[in-house]
């Protein structure tokens, strides 16, 4: 059997400041298996952002164990951590984090731009990722600041896919989008998950969490609920996806 993509055991995170200690996480334990679509949900101050940073290898727990794709993150040096972030985790952010004056293709190829990958292979992989998110090919040469919010988030998702990561970690990916555009992005996540992608989505919105197949609720640094949603409210996608792209 393969190892879980995520294995968190008794994670605690304590911040020292102004003579007082803040317990952001108080002993969080859960696993995410390959192919899951999970939402980590909680209000502001619940600890979900701290947990996201640990899961993305952007921070380390004060105590506890975190294994990503079978590797104990605590045993990795700075170079290895950077490589894990590049190759194992695909990040999608609320603010898109695209280079505004760079083309769509240039943005997507960025994670592999400074590797020894052949330029033609880089272009092929970027084109494959953009095709996977169903962004119209005529937009690939446009600058990212010429796109709509929904189109920019599709580019950001394509960028997260270009290295074929074990995990897609999405932080409030619909937070800057209107409802209809957010629905379109969630349809895309649903399709990617149906294709076998492992997705963990951070959100404070119940209607967004309801689209995932599993919801982990966090409150005051503790998991208050961890439930599989057999009737996850995934919006159905189909042949009209391309038409919706034109609307977002």
pLDDT at 113: 83
For residues 69 and 167, what is the distance between their CA atoms, to the nearest angstrom? 9
The residue ranges of every structural domain in the chain are 34-53+87-247
pLDDT at 239: 41
Pair of tokens at residue 184: 């379109």
Separation of first and last alpha carbons in the chain:
41
Looking at residue 245, its pLDDT comes to: 41
Asked if CATH classification 3.40.50.300 holds for the domain at 34-53+87-247, the reply, yes or no, is: yes
**Mean pLDDT of each 10-residue bin along the chain, 248 residues long:** 88 88 95 96 93 94 95 93 90 94 96 85 95 96 96 96 94 92 93 94 93 96 92 49 40
CA torsion sign for 166, 70, 73, 117 is negative
Instruction: Encode 41-58: b = buried (16+ Cβ within 10 Å), e = exposed.
Output: bbeeebbbbbbbbbbbbe
User: What's the CA gap between 215 and 201, in Å, rounded?
Assistant: 9
Q: Give the 3-state secondary structure of residue 76.
A: coil
Residue with tokens 């993509």: 5
Q: Is the pTM of this model over 0.85?
A: yes
Which pLDDT belongs to residue 241?
Answer: 40
Structure tokens at 119: 């330029």
């Amino acid at each position: 059997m393969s190892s879980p993509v995520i294995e968190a055991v008794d994670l605690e995170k304590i911040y020292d400041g102004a003579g007082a200690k803040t317990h952001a996480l108080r002993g969080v334990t859960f696993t995410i298996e390959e192919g899951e679509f999970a939402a980590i949900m909680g209000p502001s101050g619940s600890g979900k952002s701290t947990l996201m940073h640990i899961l993305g290898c952007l921070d380390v727990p004060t105590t506890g164990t975190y294994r990503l794709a079978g590797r104990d993150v605590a045993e990795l040096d700075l170079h290895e951590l950077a490589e894990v972030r590049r190759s194992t985790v695909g990040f999608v952010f609320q603010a898109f984090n695209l280079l505004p004056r760079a083309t769509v293709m240039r943005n997507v190829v960025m994670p592999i731009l400074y590797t020894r990958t052949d330029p033609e292979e880089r272009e092929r992989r970027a084109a494959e990722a953009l095709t996977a998110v169903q962004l119209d090919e005529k937009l690939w040469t446009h600058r990212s600041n010429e796109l709509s919010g929904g189109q920019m988030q599709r580019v950001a998702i394509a960028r997260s896919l270009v290295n074929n990561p074990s995990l897609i970690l999405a932080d409030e990916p619909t937070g800057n989008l209107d409802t209809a555009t957010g629905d379109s992005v969630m349809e895309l996540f649903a399709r990617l998950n149906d294709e076998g992608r492992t997705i963990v989505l951070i959100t404070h919105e119940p209607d967004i969490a309801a689209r995932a197949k599993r919801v982990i609720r966090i409150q005051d640094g503790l998991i208050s609920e961890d439930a599989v949603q057999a009737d996850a409210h995934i919006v159905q996608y189909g042949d009209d996806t391309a038409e919706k792209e034109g609307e977002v």
